Amino acid sequence: MVSNQQHTEDAVWQLLSTVKDPEVPVLSVVELGIIRKVCVENSDTVTISITPTYSGCPAMDVIRMQLHMVLLENGFKKVNIEQTLSPAWTTDWMTKEGKEKLKAYGIAPPLPKQAVCNPEVFQKEEAIQCPQCLSYHTHMVSRFGSTACKALYQCLDCKEPFDYFKCH
Amino acid sequence: MNAETINLNPASTNTMAIHALLHLADDSLIMGHRCSEWCGHGPILEQDIALTNIALDFVGQSRHLYQYIATQLQDISNDVALTLIDFDILPEKINEDSLAYLRDTHAFKNHLLVELPNGDWAQTILKICSFSVYRFYLFQLLQKHTDLNLAGIAEKSLKEVQYHVKWSSEWIIRLGDGTHESKSRMLQAIEFLWPYMGEMFEPVMYEKVYYHLDDVTYTSLKNNWLDKMNQIFEQATLPTQSLNQWHQTGGKIGKHTEHLGYILAEMQFLPRTFPNAIW
């Protein structure tokens, strides 16, 4: 329990970093880069600004509820959660630690360069590293995977299928 | 003149803005619904998942738009809001759900194209591709709109639309330049859907007023779209098309094909039968 004296913005960021993305449970919402602003208005009231990863991401409602819970549990009486759409979320906002955690979890982290995020057809695919055996000898099975943020890949060396958190 | 008469005036900026936003939201919702109909019926699992992902993007975009419309309507009196929206069941609250579920066909403003049945894989692909290419160019313009909420939604959606364009145009090329059967299916899809394309480039009053796009911009939107589609058709070894022929219109002013009623019957059944039902 954080006492009222400790309701600084830093303390709130700490609390928020305990909230995980329900679809990628190793990643906190802070590491994912979807918390855009924290504003402690007074000892009772805090306003958080979040941005969705994808417009239809069903995890956003769960995340919103969890943010409410953790802040109420820690002494805030009024929690406002606002949505900011612009600038649009990009995987560039994912922290370095977040990308390492993804890889350790078995999901290939997004590449930094947004080369595949344009509509040109049949582009040469980028080499995505297999999170299991670290081989670059992999191929894309489907541009769309188990959730909106992932594509499906397979390693041609160790043969394991894996998720790639696509750059966006 | 009091606020209500200003708002009720069919040419007022408020009315135009709400109707244009409804048009965008309805397009996304009906597209999303049609894509979701493929869930469990895709030709292979990966493509089934691709289509449900695309459906989710569209439904998500429509939620952003309906939510924004609902907040806009909270600023004006309830009677005016109800008149503007044309609900056929009076909602307890104007929110994203009542906007989606409590309006009948004539209140929907989507393009006729998006409500047409999925047909076969070729028809579905061509519909997604042509609509997504249109959205790609339109949202590039709208992300610079002075209404920052709309601009934000356009900017966000644009990233998703790019994936849809890429995925669907690759499929057109595969099918067109594929087997005799796949090519003939693409040709049939073009023949069936083409008369519905022109409606996207014939702006109605609310689009003209709210989008702030002049005739030159509209013409270049149309030309960009046609160039891109023909470029895809050429790569697919399919005949290039023009937009000079007669085309269907009406969806944007609430005059729909019979297909929309069946979509709404399925989509709206539950919230109408069990009002306020929650998961």
What ipTM is given for this predicted complex? 0.82
- Give the C-alpha separation, A65 to A76, whole Å: 14
Cis, bond preceding A110 (omega within 30 deg of 0) = no
* Delimiting residues of CATH 3.30.300.130 domain(s) in chain A: 4-83
Chain B interface disruption, residue of A121, A124, A125, A153, most B CBs within 10 A: A121
- CATH architecture group of domain B3-273: Up-down Bundle (1.20)
Tens-digit pLDDT profile for residues B81-138:
888 899 999 898 899 999 999 999 999 999 999 999 999 999 999 999 999 999 999 9
The 3-state secondary structure of B196-220 reads: HCHHHHCCCHHHHHHHCCCHHHHHH
Tell me which residue in B46, B60, B149 faces A142 most closely, judged by beta carbons: B46
- Give the C-alpha separation, A13 to A19, whole Å: 10
Chain B interface disruption, residue of A65, A85, A114, most B CBs within 10 A: A85
Of A73, A78, A51, which is closest to residue A64 (Cα–Cα)? A51
Tell me which residue in B47, B57, B155 faces A86 most closely, judged by beta carbons: B155
- Which span out of A52-61, B8-17, B115-124 was modeled with the highest average pLDDT? B115-124
Question: HSE of B213 in the Cβ direction (CA atoms, 13 Å)?
Answer: 27
Neighboring chain A residues of B138 at a CB cutoff of 8 Å: none
- Of chain A residues 103-122, which have a CB less than 8 A from chain B? 117-122
**B117 has a chain A CB within 8 A of its CB:** no
Q: How far is B46 from chain A (nearest CA, A)?
A: 6
* Residue A49 backbone phi and psi in degrees, to 5: -110, 125
Note whether B241 and B190 are within 8 A (CB).
Answer: yes
* Residue A167 backbone phi and psi in degrees, to 5: -75, 145
Tens-digit pLDDT profile for residues B128-185:
999 999 999 999 999 999 999 999 999 999 989 998 999 999 999 999 999 999 999 9
Of B149, B210, B145, B148, which is closest to residue B13 (Cα–Cα)? B210
- At B211, is the pLDDT very low, low, confident or very high (cuts 50, 70, 90)? very high
- For position B6, what pLDDT does the model report? 42
- C-alpha torsion angle, residues A52, A58, A60, A66 (rounded to 10): -170
Q: Could you tell me the CATH superfamily of domain A4-83?
A: Fe-S cluster assembly (FSCA) (3.30.300.130)
- For position B135, what pLDDT does the model report? 98
Domain coordinates of chain B in residue numbers? Answer: 3-273
- Of chain B residues 221-250, which have a CB less than 8 A from chain A? 232, 235
- Give the C-alpha separation, A165 to A145, whole Å: 9
- Give the C-alpha separation, B150 to B3, whole Å: 24
- Give the C-alpha separation, A57 to B59, whole Å: 10
Q: Is pLDDT above 70 for B2?
A: no
- What strand order describes the sheet that includes A35-40? A35-40, A45-50, A78-83
Neighboring chain B residues of A49 at a CB cutoff of 8 Å: none
- At B14, is the pLDDT very low, low, confident or very high (cuts 50, 70, 90)? confident
- Give the C-alpha separation, B49 to B26, whole Å: 23
- Give the C-alpha separation, B222 to B257, whole Å: 24
The token duo for B215 is: 């005739």
3-class secondary-structure state, position B68: helix
- For position B7, what pLDDT does the model report? 47
Which H or E run contains B23? Answer: helix B13-36
